[in-house]
Amino acid sequence: MTAELDVDALLGRLRATFAAGTTRPEVWRREQLVNLRRMLTEHEDRFAAALGADLGNSPIEAYITEIGFCTSEIDHTLKRLRTWMAPERVKVPITQRPARAEIIREPLGVALVIAPWNYPLQLLVLPLVAAIAAGNGAVGKPSELAPATSAELARLVPQYLDTGVDVATALLAARWDHIFFTGSTRVGRSVMAAAAPHLTPVTLELGGKSPAIVHRSAHLEAAARRIVFGKFVNAGQTCVAPDYVLAESQIAAPLIDHIVTAVRDFYGDDPAESADYARIVNDRHLRRLESLILEGDHRVVHGGRVDAAQRYLEPTILADVDPGSAVMSEEIFGPVLPVLEVPSVDEAIRFVVEREKPLALYVFAEDGEVVDRVLDRTSAGGVCVNHTLLHLGVSDLPFGGVGESGMGAYHGRAGFDTFSNHKSVLRKPSRPDPSVIYPPYSRWKRKLLRSAL
């Protein structure tokens, strides 16, 4: 969308469509979701090529993290849509009977979805799936930092869906019925401020520094491989990537050795030659990441090489990291992994609790009591025990942040509920119509009402 777009006219058309009831029937919702899935499968090669151009993703990485992830969510939604749409019966207290109570999930209206650049397809499509399933009209804003993927979306979406994909900062000034934003905490504050004058509800999927706690009881080789997988997929440009590792002192050195081995196993001696290792999105982010490596007194255990012409940053492992250094003061969002030693898991818990609540937390331990202790004493948007990232793939687990890492959730039923108003309905027959609840309140009425209530 260009700056010349008439936002009021766009919203007017969408509101008219919504008011006409076009988006409410189950058949319309299903048709849009099926068409969206068809778009993804029929043009898988084009989307994979675009993701390769924007982020250097290999075709299989593009499928696992974006295309296939989206089609799986659509399939999950289609199977359960009728159940989600059905009114939910609620038990009526005996004092209210005869009556019937229910919760009707009705669409909010017209929603705006703002997607980031790191997963430019998945993080636009998944919220749209939820908005459409709930019966809303929707406008999607893809990221200008992923131009190839955004261009494919702009070209293909109007061919498959009734709702188009538009891009403009002016959209935030309009009055929406819901705004769904994925991106940085800094921009999230601006989105929330723009929504406030209209009292527009927002879902903010932000980020933060997601820790991985490794206890001495952990299976170190498996933990290392799973941390490397979660950290370096998409070259670390994942909002729930392990941002740093807190390892108990007695196992920190062997864990680092296993991490370095896993990096070599996954990407070879020269990851620049690996078909499975992505690139940094642009020069500005590459320079920012390079400065995080160069600043501070930490030790580069592995990696650190940069090829600016290719937007390449080698998978980098840091040790002896100062908790007050630049690399520990902001979300890294790239292939740089600090490993910090802690004397105990209790100290690791303290370290996490003293900082902002993360979007994800990972704990590696074979000792169940330790796992439970971490779960009980920390707060995070989501937790994965003895692995990384995989909790995102469980559609019935709500995905969202807490505190600085966001508000609201989606995936599966949670997404349907996010884009729905839960309307409470009580149905009463006209008869009987006992006079006991109406004035005047005689002594026996007061006694009866106090007893009943």
Mean of pLDDT values over 281-286:
97
Domain range summary for the chain, segments of one domain joined by +: 7-206+406-425, 211-400
4 is catalytic: no
Q: Can you read off the two tokens belonging to residue 389?
A: 């990232």
Residue 1: band (very low, low, confident or very high) from pLDDT cuts 50, 70, 90: very low
Q: What are phi and psi of 91, to 5 degrees?
A: -65, 135
Mean of pLDDT values over 102-115:
97
Q: Do domains 7-206+406-425 and 211-400 have the same CATH topology?
A: no
Mean of pLDDT values over 236-258:
98
User: What pLDDT is stored for residue 167 in this prediction?
Assistant: 44
Q: What are phi and psi of 213, to 5 degrees?
A: -100, 125
* Fold of domain 211-400: Aldehyde Dehydrogenase; Chain A, domain 2 (3.40.309)
pTM over 0.85: yes
Q: What are phi and psi of 218, to 5 degrees?
A: -70, 155
Angstrom distance (rounded) from CA 417 to CA 425: 17
CATH superfamily, domain 7-206+406-425, is Aldehyde Dehydrogenase; Chain A, domain 1 (3.40.605.10)
70 is catalytic: no
Q: Are 145 and 284 in contact (CB under 8 A)?
A: no
Q: Distances in Å between the alpha carbon of 88 and those of 104, 113, 115, 129, 428?
A: 7, 27, 32, 22, 17
Mean of pLDDT values over 43-62:
97
Check 61, 73, 239, 384 and give the catalytic one: 239
User: What pLDDT is stored for residue 45 in this prediction?
Assistant: 97
Check 61, 205, 248, 314 and give the catalytic one: 205
State pLDDT tens for residues 349-393: 999 999 999 999 999 999 999 999 999 999 999 999 999 999 999
Report the range of poorest mean pLDDT among 103-107, 154-158, 321-325: 154-158
State pLDDT tens for residues 74-92: 999 999 999 999 999 999 9
Angstrom distance (rounded) from CA 371 to CA 223: 14
Residue 10: band (very low, low, confident or very high) from pLDDT cuts 50, 70, 90: confident
Mean of pLDDT values over 116-137:
97
